[in-house]
Structure 1
Amino acid sequence: MRYVNIDSVEPGQYLGRTIFSHNGTVLLNEGVQLTVSMISTLRRVGVTMLYIKDEADEAADMPELLSDETKLVVMKRMSETMNAIRSGKEFNTRAISVSVDQILEDVLRNKEVLVQLTDIRTRENEMFVHATNVAMMSALIGMNMQLNQIQLKELTIGALLHDIGKVEMIADDRSDDPKLHHTWRGFDLLKQKRELNLLIAHVAFQHHEQPDGQGVPRGLPDDQIHLYAKIVAVANTYDNLVYDPKTGARRLPHEACEMVSAMAGTKLDREAVIQFLRIISVYPNGTSVRLSTKETGVVVGQHRGLPGRPIVRVIRTDRQDDWEAKEIDLAKHPTVFIEQVLG
């Protein structure tokens, strides 16, 4: 399986990952053979990158932290929540709570799996994919930081709803009035929900605050920022780096990891960053790379304790219809390293 730009996709190739719509339904199923019309539609809805099945990499395993069933449920509940807020109605916190239970169940079952953000984004689903990714990563960081079950539930609900203030039309992050910032609007929305712990509202309120006191909306010092918000800030920052919701620009995971690392202790909480780097795949499966041996290949496996030392399948081609593959486990070859990420 390869992660490729849509401009290099050709009709007849097979989709490697299911694409979800914004309302919790399937847009295109994994394994479907792509046609000219499908590729054109994907471009139109804002897809720029997607996974393609490749004969040479057919055996490559890409374990998922969240099941497709959980993703569908979470995205549907988030869509219902956003629609309720837009129409001035009460949203169903019970449904959100049940969705978070499913996230935590999946994450606990697959906690040894490194995070690989494989969901394909469109203009309509990106807000929901972002919320799901931030919730998933925050839960894993929280587990690494030894939070108990109640704390993990509060953290993950806060992470899932951290950007809820963006739904209100009155929110305006460009305004000089801090109370119009989406963090403040999210706090106002969530603090009214008496069935939710007030700490959940503070996740929405504080996830753009920074340890150096230069964050927004209040410029809080480090000791006044709650741990939940510090964790969500790291997950939120990383996901926005690998996919900028404003421009659609992308940074490769290893580039985003380097940037997150550089923010530790100033823009982001140092301990939360340390735990984040232990759960993320620096070179996700499907990434095309060039090794220091000058061989090229595709990442096909990961090591929990060594996220920067994946397993790479190198393809040797003698003739167009004749290829031979070998796998190089970088954890077992300390003198070989990834020289460049291709494509």
Structure 2
Amino acid sequence: MRLLPINQLEPGDVIADTLRNADGRVLLRQGVALNADMIKAVERWGIPALPIEWPGFEEIDTTPIVSSALIDKMAAWAKKPGGLDSARLHEGQALVRTMRDEQLLAHARAFEMLSVYQAGSVYLSFYANLVGLVMRLADQLAPEWSEAYGLAALLYGYHHPGLDNGQVRDLAPAELADLVQTLRQLRVPAPVVTTLLHYQCRYDGSGTPPLKGEEIYRGGALLGLASAFLMLVFQTDGQALPAHEALEWVMGGGGTDFSLEAVRKLGRVVAPYATGQVVSLGREVAVVYHVPAEWPNRPLILMLNGDQQGQKIDLRQPDQQTRVISGVYQKRLWS
């Protein structure tokens, strides 16, 4: 499978995975050959890339870290009419445990973001990735609080307008205040509430509330970092950034917007290039074959041109230090 940008699709390309909308309805089934009208429709739906069957890429495993079934359950939980109560909170906790135990810990690879085509809308992609990324960061820095921080991220999206209109935006102060008040009335544990109260803080004190440095609760710092990064990747009010550029932007805020410790962990958790994505290495072209969990920016690649065409190269090896991925390959074909 090759993850191909929409502007490189051609009639006759065969979809390698099912494309769904935000309600879980199938829009295009795996194995369908695209025509010109389908490609235009995919563009209208705001989907930036599609998985396409590609000769020589058959063994590349692009199984998402979070299943479509779990995304559907998250969306249904967040959209469910009525206010929060104890029963709904227990349902949310069960969803968080499922994501952590059955999904995130079941894959020995880096955190690869769910694509829009997998979730059905830009906002749902942002939301599912937010919950997963917060827990993956917490597993690195505060594993005993992973589920509490994950529940805070899940609550962030409860009844969010983006669930209906697909738009990615931060919580307004009044929305956050109402959510926190409700959680306090339900006697939700302090780590969950404080994570939400502090996620808009910034390390230098420029956020809200104006706490700084170690005054910021770690859960809030991780939720704030994850949401800032993912809003760049999935933003709907401007040009979304590819993951590797968004990582560079956020890491540039280390020590100012975010703690250096958290920013370094983000760089060691998130895959800047997705499995199945074709990348440039100077004049060489390769496809990302596998992204290891312990070193996501040095993946296993399959060379597509040059003297080593057809060979798998592990960029973690000492003799590969001079090989550096410079970006996503911008053409459909290579020579």
Residue 93 (structure 2) aligns with: 97
**CA apart distance, 1:141:** 1.1
One-letter amino acid of the structure 2 residue matched with residue 283 of structure 1 = Y
One-letter amino acid of the structure 2 residue matched with residue 342 of structure 1 = Y
Q: Tell me, what secondary structure is at the counterpart of 1:297?
A: strand
Structure 1 Cα separation of the partners of residues 18 and 113 of structure 2: 13
**CA apart distance, 1:30:** 4.0
Q: How does 1:187-226 map to 2 (within 5 A)?
A: 187-194=180-187, 196-216=188-208, 218-226=209-217
Q: Tell me, what secondary structure is at the counterpart of 2:64?
A: coil
Closer/same/farther in 2, CA of residues 92 and 263 from structure 1, 3 Å limit: same
**CA apart distance, 1:107:** 4.0
One-letter amino acid of the structure 1 residue matched with residue 95 of structure 2 = S
1:243-302 deviation line (CA, Å, top 9, x unaligned): 21323x22122212212211122211222222222211122212222223x121221122
Residue 48 (structure 2) aligns with: 48
Closer/same/farther in 2, CA of residues 25 and 113 from structure 1, 3 Å limit: farther
Closer/same/farther in 2, CA of residues 13 and 187 from structure 1, 3 Å limit: same
Structure 2 Cα separation of the partners of residues 237 and 63 of structure 1: 26
Residue 245 (structure 2) aligns with: 255
**CA apart distance, 1:60:** 1.4
**CA apart distance, 1:237:** 1.6
**CA apart distance, 1:331:** 2.2
2:19/2:29 contact within 8 Å kept: yes
1:129 aligns with 2:125: yes
Q: Which moved more, 1:115-124 or 1:94-103?
A: 115-124
Structure 2 Cα separation of the partners of residues 47 and 34 of structure 1: 15
Q: How does 1:270-289 map to 2 (within 5 A)?
A: 270-289=260-279
1:4/1:52 contact within 8 Å kept: yes
Percent identity reads 21
Unaligned runs of 5+ in 2: 163-168, 331-335
Residue 166 (structure 2) aligns with: none
Residue 342 (structure 1) aligns with: 329
1:106-125 deviation line (CA, Å, top 9, x unaligned): 24532532011132259973
2:21/2:119 contact within 8 Å kept: no
Q: Which moved more, 1:218-227 or 1:253-262?
A: 218-227
Count of matched residue pairs: 321
Structure 1 Cα separation of the partners of residues 120 and 55 of structure 2: 31
Residue 325 (structure 1) aligns with: 310
1:123-153 deviation line (CA, Å, top 9, x unaligned): 97322221210110111111112422xx222
Q: Which moved more, 1:23-32 or 1:103-112?
A: 23-32
Closer/same/farther in 2, CA of residues 316 and 276 from structure 1, 3 Å limit: closer
Q: Tell me, what secondary structure is at the counterpart of 1:240?
A: helix
Structure 1 Cα separation of the partners of residues 118 and 60 of structure 2: 25
Q: Tell me, what secondary structure is at the counterpart of 2:304?
A: strand
Closer/same/farther in 2, CA of residues 309 and 77 from structure 1, 3 Å limit: same
Q: Taking structure 2 as the reference length, what is the TM-score of the superposition?
A: 0.83
1:16/1:52 contact within 8 Å kept: yes
Structure 1 Cα separation of the partners of residues 190 and 281 of structure 2: 49
Closer/same/farther in 2, CA of residues 303 and 207 from structure 1, 3 Å limit: same
